[in-house]
A = this chain, B = another copy of it.
Amino acid sequence: MKSEIICIGTELLMGQTLNTNVQFLSQKLAELGMDCYYQSVVGDNSQRLNDALSLALSRSELIITTGGLGPTFDDMTKNIMSEISGIPLVYHQDSLDKILKSYTDRNLPMTDNNKKQALVIEGAHVFKNETGSAPGFAFKCHHSLVVVLPGPPKEMQPMVNHEVVPYLEQFMDARLVSDYLYLFGIGESSVEASLSDEILYSSNPSVAPYASVDHVVLRVTSKAKTLEEAQALNKPMVALLSDQFTNHLYSINEPNMAQVLVDHLIERSITIATAESLTGGKISDLITSVDGSSKVFKFGACTYDSAFKESLLGVSHDEIAKNTPVTAKVATQMALGIQKYAQTDIGIGITGVAGPTTYRDDKPVGLVYIAVAIKDDVTVKEYHLSRNLKNERQSIKKLAALHALKDTLDRL
């Protein structure tokens, strides 16, 4: 099924909003095995919206739109759909009741523009909105299937996961399955260079490396009649690649390294505490973003002022005075200090220079020491994360935090 995605909203054309919807929807289409050939954005302008939809109807079998279903005057998606298809809009009673109730529940008067959100194309298949007001819907327009979704990701995403995907599955005669190998600490071109031509040019499964800020992903994709057959086709290639990249691979199909770490820790009842300097709480934030992390994460100290490295963690005053707080020894003492203070199995200590100002000539931006203490055994590593980029403070913090998670994972 040849598909395309149209995102509606002037805020996207103006760059005011980052378009995360198109990524989410592309992933879903890829998983369904639908080829997505076009992605486009159109503003809240009836003529251009009309043009964009007409063009899409001329070339795609499935068109997914997001946005323009809200209560305000510039939300016009449904009116244009009605114009183009010649099918009138009608109120979807359940949605209307829900909107009314949300106002009476809060003792608020409902403005008329909010009623508009309950309109759908007559005869459409309606997708209910678990987390907002405007329902989505699907209808046949000329020769295409058009799926109309709300713009806010928190409304659109659950709607797609719970209703749109099962609805679309009925139209598929082949299934595509992708497995993702998540690698850290290696670049995309090194990954590609070390792949044999046989792998690079294989077609079912196909293999493709992608780089993101946090990691390199190797995507392995197979197409088959059933989900099970496609999964089986993927298996030997995933095993082969896992073996080749074993030093860098941190997970198959789970992009979140903190999730991988917390799962390991919970499984083996290992507790952890962190002492952070340059990362400023980023490591504890990543860990505690994982559901269930409170079972294993006990305490995090962000000793931004070095005085607390000494008083709370027992880092040697002489070491800091003589050699600055950015040394392997300080990281080691931080790891041991926090492990002792919080009485946990693991202590992570991290110190470095986040920039943008160089701390001292011999302590350049991006110099980071990460120590991981497990029982009495401490390892410490030196990293040079600076890549001569501007405004790299946040990237260095994030990258340093991820290295800390990876170093910890490698010790388990």
Contacts and interface: CB of A to CB of B under 8 A. Distances in A.
Contacts of A24: 15
A140 to B, nearest CB: 25
A301 to B, nearest CB: 6
B342 A394 contact: no
A15 B10 contact: no
Decide if the interface of chain A is mainly helix, strand, loop or mixed. mixed
Nearest to A7: B39
A14 interface: yes
Interface stretch (A80-88, A90-98, A289-297): A289-297
Nearest to A395: B154
A293 to B, nearest CB: 8
Interface string A148-184: 0000101000100000000000000000000000000
Contacts of A283: 281
A17 B71 contact: no
B39 A41 contact: yes
A99 interface: no
Nearest to A294: B304
A37 interface: yes
Contact of A212 (B13, B17, B211, B300): B17
A104 interface: no
Interface in A8-43: 10-20, 22-30, 36-43
Contacts of A390: 130-131, 158
Contacts of A71: 189
Contact of A15 (B23, B38, B70): B23
A304 B293 CA distance: 9
A154 to B, nearest CB: 6
Interface in A116-138: 130-131
Interface residues of A, number: 87
A298 B289 contact: no
A38 B42 CA distance: 6
A168 to B, nearest CB: 15
A72 B210 CA distance: 11
A291 B210 contact: no
Interface in A290-329: 291, 293-294, 297-305, 308
Contacts of A389: 131, 154, 158
A305 B291 CA distance: 15
A303 B299 contact: yes
A189 B112 CA distance: 13
A256 to B, nearest CB: 10
A11 B280 contact: no
A356 B208 CA distance: 35
Interface in A351-375: 354-357
12 contacts: A14-B219, A18-B18, A40-B41, A131-B387, A280-B281, A280-B288, A281-B281, A281-B282, A281-B288, A291-B393, A299-B301, A299-B305
**Closest A-B pairs by Cβ, 10 of them:** A280-B288, A15-B26, A281-B281, A300-B302, A15-B27, A281-B284, A39-B41, A281-B285, A298-B305, A284-B302
Interface of A: 10-20, 22-30, 36-43, 48, 70-73, 111, 130-131, 152, 154, 158, 189, 192-193, 200, 208, 210-212, 217, 219, 274, 276, 279-285, 287-289, 291, 293-294, 297-305, 308, 342, 354-357, 387-390, 393-395, 397
Given A288-B354, A293-B304, A300-B301, 4 more contacts: A12-B39, A19-B22, A131-B389, A299-B301
